[in-house]
Each structure stands twice: as C-alpha cells, then as structure tokens.
C-alpha cells in the first residue's frame, strides 16, 4: 500500500481543526533541521500532532486524487510509484507519534490516540477501497509482462496489487461498508487493549515496610525499590512493581513466599480484574471482529488471512512445528518441576510448587546442579559494557562502527544516540538506545524507527532506528547490572537495529519482510552473547575491570540449557493460545475468555505451575495487532537462526567474514524483494532443519 500507510496501520480523514499554541510553530510542517534530520523531540508538543495528522491526510488525499485523475494511460511510474511515494507528511508525523506514544505516553496522548485511530483507519480504507485507484493499479498489473521491470519493481507491483485485494477492493459496496466498520472497530479495540494493560501494570505496587521481607533479594533490586518508594513519597519503604525488571527478580530471589504469591497473582491477572481496565470483553469483541473480517475477505478464519502473507503459509504448518517442540519441552519442564519439588523438600517444605515458586526454586536447583548463581554473573554484565559487546560483534562481522552523538534531540533524556558508519566510513544512519523503564513506557523490549531507509530524488535517505528496553534504572551512583537474559535482550534488539540500518530498497512497499522471518536478524545475534571469545571482550567486572573468569564462563555454558523446559513451554503455550483464538471458524456464543484459555491449555497437558508467557488479558503481541496469529514467529525464526549460526560454526570461525557478508547481502539488505525462504537459501544454500534448535534448547 501507500508509503504513509505502511506505518499507520490504519489512517484517517477529519474535517475538525485542533487548537495549537500560536507561539510554537508546528515542527512537522517544515524540514527537520536537526543533526541527521531526526525529529526535534524537544520542540514537538502534543498539540502539534492532530493538525499534522490532518494536513498529512489532506495532502495524501490530494496525491491520490492526482493519480486517479491523471489523463495519461496508467504506468508503473505514474500509478504504482506515485502511490508508493504518497503520504510523506503523514508518515513523518506517524513515526514521531507512534514512537513517542510507546515510550512516553500520557493521559493526553492516550486520549488523542482514541480520537485519531478511527480516523486513520477510515483514511486507510479510503485509499484501499478507492475503485478508480484500484482500476489503474489493475491495468498496470495486467500488462506487466510487456514492461521492462526489474525484480524490485515487479515485487512492488505484486505487493501493491495484492494489498488492494486483501484490503477489500474486489468486494461489493455493501461488503466494503461492512469492512470499513470492522477495520475501525479492530483498530480501536487493539488500542484500548494496550492502554488497559499499561494502566493495570502501573496501578499495582507491592509496598514493603519490613526489612525482613527483603530477605534473599539482591542489593541492587532493594536499592531500586527504595528509590521507587522515595519517588512515590514513601521514604524508608520499598516498592516493587509489575514491570519485568522488578517483578521477575523478585519472584526469583525473594524468600518471602506469601509476597511472591501476591505479586505473581497480580502479574498474571492484569486485565482480568473486572474493573475499568478489564480486557475480557475487549478480547471477545476483537476476536469476533477479526473473524468477521477474515470471512468477509474469503478466508475461513483470521489465521488463514494472516498466514497467507507469512513463510508458514497455513495453520497446519504452524501447529506441526509447535507440536513437534511441545512434547520434548513439556517432558523437560516436568523434569525441572521434579527438581524444584526436591529443593522444597530439601528445605523442609511440606508443599508442592506453585507458579510463584518456580523461578525461586529453579534458581536454587540450578545452583545445586551447576554451582551457578546468576548474581555472580551480574557484576560482569554492566549495561554499557554489554552494549559495547554488541557493537564489537557487529564490527567484527561487518566492519561497522558506532560513535555516540551527544548534541542531538533524543526520544527521552535518558536515551543514547549513536551514528553507525560502514567500513568505508560512509554513514548508515542513527541508532537510539532507550534502556530504562518508566511509567509512560510500554512493557517489554522492541526495535522501532523514527525514519526508515528510503530514496528521495535519487538520493538515499538514512534510517533513524530506536531500540527500547525496560531495565531498572540504577540507584544514583550505581551501575546498571544486567541478568544473562537481559544481556541477550540487548543483543536481540540490536540485531533488529542492524536489519534496519543495513536496509537498501528503493520503494517503501517492498521494505518489509514476513512476520515469521523478521526475528531471524535479531535472534541470530543472541548466539554471540555468551561465546567465550566475545565474553572476554565485554564481560568485565564493573569495579575491578577483571575479565570474567573462565570458570564462570564454563558455568554459564553448562547451565545455559537448564530451565529451557520452562522457558520453551511458557512460550509455546502462548503461541498455541494465539493460534487457537485465530483459528476459530465460527463465533462462540457467550464466549468465556477464562474458560477458553483453560481449555486450550488443559487439552495439551500444560502443568498448572506454568502459565502461558502471556495470558489472554495482557497478551499484547497478539491482541494489539503486531503478532496476531504470529506469536509462533519467534520459534519459527529460531529454526532459521539456529541453522544460520551453524554456518559460522562449520567454518571454525564465528566471525567468518565471508559468511557475514553473505548474511548481510541476502538477509539484512534486500528488504522483502525476494521470497523469505529464497533469501534464506541464498544465504545458506539450503532450507533449515529443526535439529539445531532442539540441540540449542537442550531438548534433544
């Protein structure tokens, strides 16, 4: 579809005018004059967004009208390229708005989202359901054999035509009207779901006022909890939250079982508290609307509609992969549960483990088996060192460098900015890294952008990429020490960033890759995190500068597969839940969300101590629209990344320059010009197998 719609997920149409401060010129209405042309975050006010959206939609409408009313015969340039280039202002404001609303949202921004997203959805439909525009696109599509198009141009034409068909262009007027209603409803429900989860996450506070209740917790976590309490006018107390850097280590280390139970139950019941932020009815309406949309477009269910664009192609292939891994993973998880219950008995406990016990006693079991305490590792994983480790790996593989930029607008004052340069010294773009959790930031970690790579007037426009994390901000004067999992997260999101920085395509419409391929560049980077050669470069004690001892490296390697039963099962459970919702082929009258989830898990034998990684009412990956019928993508891509890393290992050099060059050329650079499996085979020379994945996870 059109350039502006690739990031808008909907788009809009409004005749209302909004008030904006006369004293503050709207920065969206002129070229950015900032270094590297990044958004002037310090000058953008909330009041600037709505008029910029309105003008952006108005301009794109005029551009579409110009294409439709062009008296000349439709051609690739005057129709397909013109459509791809349309919506420049809309894209510009959408990047800034979506980026900032995810990392620094406010009540005012959330209200604006609720107002704008239905309008944006209508604008998107005005384009995809424009019959005269589709007629011109079809004329070009039908005569492509007579055109001298290159591979990228052919792909753009194919994707543009397919986008119109999938957008309802072939439906009759009544069905198109219904599709508009469904698209608007879906966009609002997805937005509401995400806002509810953030409110639920921020609403809970576990306040500890007895120092004895802190037993077992690392000093860094205690200090962070004290600062959180002080910021909330509770000096002398400690506050733990449902943000992952707080709740997960609490569950892993807190000796107080009653408090572990309290915070665990609060975590797994977000959006399921029958209050104003409850998501059960939101999910019911959303699943129903998605099914209606799929059937309207000729698909038997919503998963079929989604997977038609993915590598997996159909739901049978997805379930086959998940089921292959489920059986050995569940077996391994039950073995881990036996270890956990043995640890409980060893301590004299007379109870069987529950969900709030798993991380706590699994940590003890790991220590017993491998003499491995994660807190031994943290001092060697100081955040800045881990970041430099990721930069080191990229330099060794591709010859690129990262230099910090000080004097540049940032998405948040705590964020860092870097210029990425290629090995020939040419600039590849800007990378932001936003590390610390805060109330206005969405949960989890992700990679986004404030500008994608493109070409304008024949000149390459460099990308502005952002990686976002939710690590606990350290207490004043203290370092940010990461867990092993958090270190992997830095490398993971950095892998996504490299994908964005290396991109080199001429058309927006071919920039994207299938959802189940997009995790390959990120997940393959994780393989270098704990390679001994890499650890010796970046894993240095934050106080002494001592390189991590080989003995500790050996412990990391030996213990790395322990706990994969739990990790794999909780992930697969969420993936299966996502698929089960979106392979429904008929509406379930009076659908009970809790019962549906329970049945989905019970029929596969999920043990009660392991809830899905994301339960329904806070499962943002699927319910907010990013990974709908696509959460399986992480494990699908893991088949690819495990096999891809074997290509390096087979040469005896994990930094083999020839392999890295092939990976960059065939996977990281071409966007979606080639079929995803063809891209992989162009790199690897063959299709991947599942064996390396099972081996890496210790499931075989």
Output the DSSP codes for 558-605.
Answer: HHTTTTHHHHHHHHHHHHHHHHHHHT--S--TT--HHHHHHHHHHTTT
Q: Tokens 């994707």 — which residue? A: 159
Q: Which among 92, 604, 541, 35 is positioned nearest to 329, based on CA atoms?
A: 604
- What angle separates helix 280-296 from helix 593-602, to the nearest 10 degrees? 80
For this structure, is 493 an active site residue?
yes
* Side-chain-facing half-sphere of 471: CA atoms under 13 Å: 29
Alpha helix (H) residue ranges in 129-172: 131-142, 151-166
Alpha helix (H) residue ranges in 380-518: 383-398, 484-502
Whole-number Å distance between alpha carbons of 488 and 522: 10
- From the CB of residue 664, how many other CB atoms can be counted at a distance below 10 Å? 19
* Catalytic site residue from 54, 227, 493, 570: 493
Residue 515 tokens, joined: 């959802």
Residue 494 tokens, joined: 């950095």
Q: Is 466 helix (H, G, I), strand (E, B) or coil?
A: strand
Whole-number Å distance between alpha carbons of 92 and 40: 12
- What angle separates helix 46-68 from helix 107-128, to the nearest 10 degrees? 0
Residue 601 tokens, joined: 């898990």
Dihedrals phi, psi of 263, to nearest 5 degrees: -75, -30
Region label for 537, one of left (φ > 0), alpha (ψ between -120 and 50) or beta (otherwise):
alpha
Do 61 and 126 form a contact (C-beta atoms < 8 A)?
yes
| 328, 320, 318, 530 alpha-carbon torsion, rounded to 10° | 30
Output the DSSP codes for 240-309.
Answer: E-SSHHHHHHHHHH---HHHHHHHHHHHHTTT-SSSTT--HHHHHHHHHHHHHHHHHTT-SSHHHHHHTT
Region label for 472, one of left (φ > 0), alpha (ψ between -120 and 50) or beta (otherwise):
beta
Longest dimension (CA), the chain: 85
Region label for 582, one of left (φ > 0), alpha (ψ between -120 and 50) or beta (otherwise):
alpha
Extract the runs of DSSP E, i.e. beta strands, from 160-251. Answer: 206-208, 238-240
**What stretch of H or E contains 456?**
strand 454-456
As annotated, the active-site residues are 493
């Amino acid at each position: 579809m059109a350039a502006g719609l690739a990031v808008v997920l909907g788009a809009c149409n409004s005749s209302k005018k909004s008030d904006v401060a006369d004293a503050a010129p709207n920065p969206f209405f002129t070229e950015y004059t900032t270094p590297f042309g990044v958004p002037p975050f310090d000058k953008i006010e909330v009041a600037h967004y709505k008029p910029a959206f309105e003008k952006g939609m108005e301009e794109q409408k005029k551009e579409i009208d110009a294409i439709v009313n062009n008296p000349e015969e439709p051609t690739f340039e005057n129709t397909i390229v013109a459509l791809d280039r349309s919506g420049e202002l809309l894209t510009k404001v959408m990047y800034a708005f979506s980026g900032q609303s995810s990392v620094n949202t406010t009540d005012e921004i959330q209200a604006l989202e609720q107002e704008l997203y239905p309008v944006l959805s209508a604008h998107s439909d005005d384009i995809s359901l424009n019959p005269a525009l589709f007629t011109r696109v079809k004329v070009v599509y039908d005569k492509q054999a007579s055109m001298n198009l290159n591979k990228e141009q052919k792909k753009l034409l194919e994707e543009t035509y397919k986008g119109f068909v999938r957008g309802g262009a072939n439906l009759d007027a009544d069905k198109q009207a219904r599709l508009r209603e469904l698209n608007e409803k879906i966009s609002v429900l997805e937005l509401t779901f995400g806002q509810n989860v953030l409110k639920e996450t921020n609403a809970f506070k576990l306040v500890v006022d007895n120092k004895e209740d802190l037993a077992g917790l690392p000093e860094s976590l205690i200090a962070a909890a004290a600062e959180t309490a002080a910021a909330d006018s509770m000096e002398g107390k400690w506050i733990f939250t449902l943000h992952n850097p707080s709740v997960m280590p609490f569950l892993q280390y807190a000796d107080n079982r009653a408090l572990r139970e309290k915070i665990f139950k609060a975590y797994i019941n977000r959006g399921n508290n029958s209050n104003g932020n409850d998501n059960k009815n939101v999910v019911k309406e959303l699943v129903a609307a998605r099914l209606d949309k799929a059937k309207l477009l000729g698909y038997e269910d919503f998963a079929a509609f989604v997977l038609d664009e993915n590598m997996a192609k159909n739901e049978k292939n997805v379930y086959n992969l998940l089921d292959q891994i489920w059986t050995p993973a569940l077996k391994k998880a039950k073995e881990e549960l036996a270890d956990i219950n043995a640890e409980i008995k060893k301590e004299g406990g007379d109870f069987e483990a529950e969900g709030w016990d798993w991380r706590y006693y699994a940590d003890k079991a790991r220590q017993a088996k491998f003499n491995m305490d994660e807190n031994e590792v943290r001092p060697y994983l100081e955040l800045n060192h881990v970041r430099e480790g990721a930069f080191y790996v990229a330099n060794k593989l591709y010859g690129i460098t990262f230099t910090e930029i000080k004097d540049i607008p940032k998405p948040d004052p705590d964020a860092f900015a870097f210029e990425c340069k290629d090995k020939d010294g040419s600039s590849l773009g800007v990378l932001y890294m936003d590390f610390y959790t805060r109330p206005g930031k969405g949960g989890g970690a992700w990679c986004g952008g404030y500008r994608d790579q493109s070409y304008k007037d024949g000149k390459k426009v460099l990308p502005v990429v952002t990686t976002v994390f939710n690590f606990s901000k350290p207490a004043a004067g203290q370092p940010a020490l990461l867990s092993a999992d958090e270190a992997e997260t830095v490398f993971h999101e950095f892998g996504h960033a490299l994908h964005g920085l290396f991109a080199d395509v001429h058309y927006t419409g071919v920039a994207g890759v299938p959802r189940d391929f997009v995790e390959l560049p990120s997940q393959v980077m994780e393989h270098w995190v704990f390679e001994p050669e890499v650890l010796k470069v970046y894993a240095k004690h934050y106080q002494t500068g001592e390189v991590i001892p080989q003995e500790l490296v050996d412990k990391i390697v030996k213990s790395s597969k322990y706990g994969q039963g739990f990790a794999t099962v909780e992930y697969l459970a969420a993936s299966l839940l996502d698929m089960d919702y979106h392979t429904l082929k008929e509406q379930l009258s009076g659908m009970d969300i809790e019962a549906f989830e329970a049945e989905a898990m019970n029929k596969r034998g999920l043990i009660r101590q392991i809830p899905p990684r994301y339960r329904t009412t806070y499962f943002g990956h699927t319910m907010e629209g990013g990974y709908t019928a696509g959460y399986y993508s992480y494990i699908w891509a893991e088949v690819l990344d495990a096999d891809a890393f074997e290509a390096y290992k087979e040469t005896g050099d994990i930094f083999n320059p020839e392999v890295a060059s092939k990976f960059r050329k065939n996977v990281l650079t071409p966007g979606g010009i080639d079929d995803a499996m063809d891209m992989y085979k162009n790199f690897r020379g063959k299709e991947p197998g599942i064996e390396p994945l099972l081996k890496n996870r210790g499931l075989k």
